[in-house]
Chains A and B, each alone.
Chain A
Amino acid sequence: MPQGASLSLRELAKFYDGAGAVLGVSLDLEPGKFLTLLGPSGSGKTTTLMMVAGFVDPTGGDILVNGRSVARMPAHKRDMGMVFQNYALFPHMTVAENVGFPLKMRNMSRSERDDRIATFVKMVGLEPFAKRYPQQLSGGQQQRVALARALVFSPSLVLMDEPLGALDRRLRLQMQEEIKGIQRELGLTVIYVTHDQEEALTMSDMVAVMEGGRISSFGTPREIYEKPTNRFVANFIGESNFIPCHLEQAGGETLARLESGARVAVGASDLPAGAPGVIFLRPERLRLCAADDALPNKVPGRVMGEIYLGDASLYRVRLGDGLEVKVKRPNRGYGMPVREGDEMMVGWQPADSIVLRA
């Protein structure tokens, strides 16, 4: 039984002096799920979070927690735990006092409070530091205090505003794992704001990609990465290739005519025949191959350069019509050698491509 509540946003909007920061955001989140609001700066993700927290008054729409509207409720009655970007730890209180603050505000008895503080300080691994002040802790340790403080009162929702932004990469990966572990363990409903797509993919149950104050795409990380519904999402998350094309209908089969005149088979598409579009392909779904390879779709190209990534290499390949694509190949130590200047075929399975609106 998850401890977290369900959350629904209904046409939530915020306008500042006529200009919209958030233009009607709607979504439903089940209890115990981890939702990430992902988007570039200015996409409205932080404003949305602040409206849920109660720090920004919505201009329109509604916020439902377990089916009850909280849109008009003051922030301190919403019972949500928030982890701020800069942690916002109280500098005049020790770690234990920081963690105990929400319990004190709820007038919990001293002994009960101490028990809970001990449990949560232990959970984030800060027992030896309970009597220290925040300034005496490292960034990662401060982050843990903020986390414990936001969870200690069993909030209905946990809100996180780019909480790992200030940490170095190693620590960030470690904290991602820990936050995810605690969230699963306690069944927390988490709303997480970030502009880091990798973080969004690895941590979330659901991702809402935001663009210009709207949700551009909403789905599981796998759906968002593998089946993007528009060019913005495809471009914002991961590496992508876009090959311009026109759709053609030929004997019940959909074909795409490239600008070079070549025709390739594509998977399903919502676009009407004749409409201009782009074939979307992830670099790791493209293959460098010989002309006699069995792949249904093949286009000739010339290898222009290699970016060595360690576990894989990213090749820039110029196709016949001058368009460059990126092809990612794991460095397994065997297979066809590839050198700069080689003339090769770039091939792919039709099912791995999606035709999106240009």
Chain B
Amino acid sequence: MTDTTLAARAASAPGVPVRTKAGRGVYPWLALPAIGFYLIFFGWPLVQMMWRSVFDDGFTFAGYWEFFSLPIYWYVLGYTMAIGVVTLVLTLAIGYPVAYWLVRLDRTWTVVLMAFVLIPFWSSGLVRTYAWIVILGRQGVVNNLLIRLGIIDQPFAFLGTHWAVMVGLTYYLLPYMILCLYSVMNNIDRNLMKAARNLGASPFRAFLTVFVPLTKPGVFAGSFLVFMLAIGMYITPALLGGPEQTTLPLVIALQINEALDWTLAAALSMVLLAFTIIIQLFANRFVDLDHMWGGAR
């Protein structure tokens, strides 16, 4: 079509980015204070806990044995994971459209709506969870409203149900999901959607083929974060749940505060940590985050 030297010219076009090795010389040493802080305040307690889980007047695997031999612990672990997955799905389902609107709205509205996201995020988790007791309790807002409307005669026991724990966790963790999604969506070049429409994609198709794939890093980052926080959460299941909503962190607290079985508590903590790491590795394997952030490097 055009002259054949085009190919040769394109191949020799200058400016193919070259990655240089940075950080030689004195710079690595600047990381030392951070590494020291990390080792003292995160590394050391972790080592202590690991030690505690196998040492109690001599080496023992009693804690791990108790966990692996009793089905109740497996049930609690399963329930904890299930709670994590459901919370993840709910926060994603609610957070995605909210983050999308935050990005699409003009500046002033973004600021106003962002305040609605951030103010709960900054306030105490305990207060926010107690607020749900006020809303969902026997004499709570929801029950009063339903009775006044004549939909129910007797107050409904919302508290102490799976439903209450789900609502509480979703509400609590939603800002994390929204912020993760927002930061990624906000960095998507708006011209890309224009380009997609210009090239013949309907707005909906442009959304599915261009916008959604580009938000994947945010979706995965938000999902990891929410899932990890959900399975480690103590306050919400403790306050809004009942005996049937016992999660692993509740069992750990019970061992420490009431059974005074520190070895079991430490062992359970290690199991929770191990599962967290396994899921992280598993996810990393299937989701090549590096690839999604900057194309294949």
Q: Which of B10, B197, B202 contacts A140 (CB 8 A)?
A: B10
Interface centre among A76, A80, A144 (most CB of B within 10 A): A76
Per the bound structure, the CA–CA distance linking A106 and B199 in Å amounts to: 9
CB neighbours (8 Å) of B199 from chain A are 76, 81, 101-102, 105, 149-150, 153
Interface bits B280-297 vs A (CB < 8 Å: 1, else 0): 000000000000101111
Residues 138-163 of A contacting B (Cβ, < 8 Å):
138-141, 144, 149-150, 153, 159
B156 CB, nearest partner CB in chain A, Å = 47
Per the bound structure, the CA–CA distance linking A134 and B71 in Å amounts to: 53
Nearest residue (CB) in B for A105 is B200
Per the bound structure, the CA–CA distance linking A263 and B14 in Å amounts to: 56
Whether the pair A105, B205 counts as a contact (CB closer than 8 A) is yes
Residues 228-258 of B contacting A (Cβ, < 8 Å):
none
Per the bound structure, the CA–CA distance linking A84 and B210 in Å amounts to: 16
Whether the pair B200, A128 counts as a contact (CB closer than 8 A) is no
CB neighbours (8 Å) of A182 from chain B are 1-2
Binds B, one of A59-67, A116-124, A189-197, A236-244: A116-124
Nearest residue (CB) in A for B203 is A76
CB neighbours (8 Å) of B201 from chain A are 76, 101, 105
Binds A, one of B31-39, B134-142, B188-196: B188-196
Task: Give 9 new A-B contacts, CB below 8 A, not counting A53-B194, A76-B201, A140-B10.
Answer: A55-B198, A76-B206, A81-B198, A88-B191, A125-B7, A133-B296, A140-B14, A159-B198, A178-B6
CB neighbours (8 Å) of B8 from chain A are 125
Q: Which of A84, A101, A137, A138 contacts B194 (CB 8 A)?
A: A84
Whether the pair A88, B194 counts as a contact (CB closer than 8 A) is yes
Q: Chain A: residues with CB nearer than 8 A to chain B?
A: 53-55, 74-82, 84-86, 88-92, 101-102, 105-106, 119, 122-129, 133-141, 144, 149-150, 153, 159, 171, 174, 178, 181-182, 185
Count of chain B residues near A, Cβ 8 A: 37
Given contacts A92-B214, A105-B201, A182-B2, contact A138 B16 (CB under 8 A): yes
A143 CB, nearest partner CB in chain B, Å = 9
Q: Which of A74, A136, A139, A150 contacts B295 (CB 8 A)?
A: A136
Whether the pair B13, A90 counts as a contact (CB closer than 8 A) is no
CB neighbours (8 Å) of B213 from chain A are 92
Nearest residue (CB) in B for A53 is B198
B217 CB, nearest partner CB in chain A, Å = 10
Per the bound structure, the CA–CA distance linking A90 and B197 in Å amounts to: 12
Q: Does B15 contact A (CB under 8 A)?
A: yes
Q: Which of A128, A135, A149 contacts B294 (CB 8 A)?
A: A135
B243 CB, nearest partner CB in chain A, Å = 47
CB neighbours (8 Å) of A133 from chain B are 295-296
Q: Which of A74, A101, A123, A141 contacts B2 (CB 8 A)?
A: A123
B190 CB, nearest partner CB in chain A, Å = 9
B7 CB, nearest partner CB in chain A, Å = 4
Whether the pair B200, A153 counts as a contact (CB closer than 8 A) is yes
Per the bound structure, the CA–CA distance linking A119 and B146 in Å amounts to: 67
Pick 19 A–B contacts, CB within 8 A, sort by A: A53-B194, A76-B199, A76-B202, A81-B198, A81-B199, A90-B192, A92-B213, A92-B214, A92-B292, A92-B295, A102-B200, A123-B6, A125-B10, A128-B11, A133-B296, A135-B295, A140-B10, A159-B198, A174-B9
Q: Which of B6, B15, B196, B202 contacts A125 (CB 8 A)?
A: B6
8 smallest beta-carbon distances between A and B, as pairs: A133-B295, A125-B10, A125-B6, A138-B15, A105-B200, A102-B199, A88-B195, A88-B191
Nearest residue (CB) in A for B202 is A76
Given contacts A55-B194, A76-B197, A84-B191, contact A126 B295 (CB under 8 A): no
Given contacts A92-B295, A135-B294, contact A126 B200 (CB under 8 A): no
Whether the pair B194, A124 counts as a contact (CB closer than 8 A) is no
Whether the pair B10, A144 counts as a contact (CB closer than 8 A) is yes
Per the bound structure, the CA–CA distance linking A89 and B206 in Å amounts to: 13
CB neighbours (8 Å) of A122 from chain B are 1, 7
Whether the pair A181, B2 counts as a contact (CB closer than 8 A) is yes
CB neighbours (8 Å) of A74 from chain B are 197, 202
Per the bound structure, the CA–CA distance linking A127 and B213 in Å amounts to: 26
Per the bound structure, the CA–CA distance linking A149 and B203 in Å amounts to: 19
Per the bound structure, the CA–CA distance linking A91 and B295 in Å amounts to: 7
Whether the pair B13, A141 counts as a contact (CB closer than 8 A) is yes
CB neighbours (8 Å) of B189 from chain A are 86, 88
CB neighbours (8 Å) of B196 from chain A are 90, 101
Q: Which of A82, A137, A178 contacts B195 (CB 8 A)?
A: A82
Per the bound structure, the CA–CA distance linking A174 and B15 in Å amounts to: 15
A50 CB, nearest partner CB in chain B, Å = 9
Per the bound structure, the CA–CA distance linking A17 and B53 in Å amounts to: 69
Q: Which of B10, B16, B17, B194 contacts A126 (CB 8 A)?
A: B10
CB neighbours (8 Å) of B14 from chain A are 138, 140, 171
